[in-house]
Amino acid sequence: MRRFLTNTAQSNPRSAIVTGAGRGIGRAIALRLAQDGFDICVNDLDKNVEDVNSVVKEIQLLGRSGVAFCGDVSSMASVEEMIATSVTALGPLNVMVANAGIAQVGWPMDITEANMRKLFEVNVFGVVNSNIAAGQQFIKQGTKGKILNAASGVSFKADALLPMYSASKAAVRSLTQSFATELGRHGITVNGYAPGIVQSAMWKHIDAELGKINGLPQGENFNSFTKNIALRRTSVPEDAAKLVSYLAGPDSDYVTGQTILVDGGLVFS
């Protein structure tokens, strides 16, 4: 009889790194992958060390191993140190989730050079660093691996005031295809997950900044999307974590180079 290998049915120890996992979508992914049987390296910025340590504790309560690594993904040296820390503590790496990201709100003509550089350093260089360093680690190990990148839905209406953020996430989609093309010969898959309008600290910030421009009270910009979402609800971090669980597991072995929307039907691709 043929059987499907479910995530939880795997007995071999597996490890994953999740960047930007101190809160929000990254935290939900880290906890979901721990439930799936992965040991997890939890990354976030130094200033969020308490959040990182608390996610590590939650992972340990789920019966898995967790290790904290505070560092900035826009630095290649930091990403390499993160992988070394994870491998030393948890063994060979199986999955890299390049989730860390930042958002900026405002008209394209108003963006400063410094803000544009910062956005691309985290959202684009952070992904490039994580993909290259994880790819090198998988090749060195001689194992297949999975790389997942946080993208976003493009061309929905918020793009009007998140244009540079959307540009950085469009780059992530393209980079996902590029890395998938090169790493495929090693059996390494590279995919993107594109959440919709997710309740997180990032959206609180976006909502407040949009409110300064269009005068809507806190929460109203966020809620205004509901009517355009087919499922008529905004998203919670666990929605994205469910897709990442599939993309990190064996059922997605023949999927690569794709960026998959998980937005309740806000954008149709």
Ligand X SMILES: NC(=O)c1ccc[n+]([C@@H]2O[C@H](COP(=O)([O-])OP(=O)(O)OC[C@H]3O[C@@H](n4cnc5c(N)ncnc54)[C@H](O)[C@@H]3O)[C@@H](O)[C@H]2O)c1
Residues making contact with ligand X (CB under 6 A): 19-20, 22-26, 43-45, 48, 72-74, 99-102, 122, 126, 150, 152, 195, 197-198, 200-203
The closest of 232, 266, 198, 209 to 20, measured between CA atoms, is 198
**Smallest distance from the beta carbon of 142 to ligand X, in angstroms?**
28
Nearer to ligand X, 139 or 160 (CB): 160
**Smallest distance from the beta carbon of 77 to ligand X, in angstroms?**
13
Nearer to ligand X, 9 or 213 (CB): 213
**Would you call 165 a catalytic residue per the annotation?**
yes
SS3 67: strand
Query: Where does 184-230 have alpha helices with state H?
Result: 201-214, 220-223
**Smallest distance from the beta carbon of 186 to ligand X, in angstroms?**
25
**Smallest distance from the beta carbon of 197 to ligand X, in angstroms?**
5
Nearer to ligand X, 106 or 141 (CB): 106
> Given strand 259-262, what is the order of strands in its sheet?
66-70, 38-44, 14-18, 95-98, 146-150, 189-195, 259-262
Residue 33 CB partners (closer than 8 Å, separation 6+):
16, 18, 40, 95, 97, 241, 244, 245, 248
Q: Which of 165, 193, 246, 254 is catalytic?
A: 165
Nearer to ligand X, 19 or 191 (CB): 19
The closest of 4, 36, 21 to 243, measured between CA atoms, is 36
Number of neighbouring beta carbons within 10 Å of residue 251: 14
Residues annotated as catalytic are 165
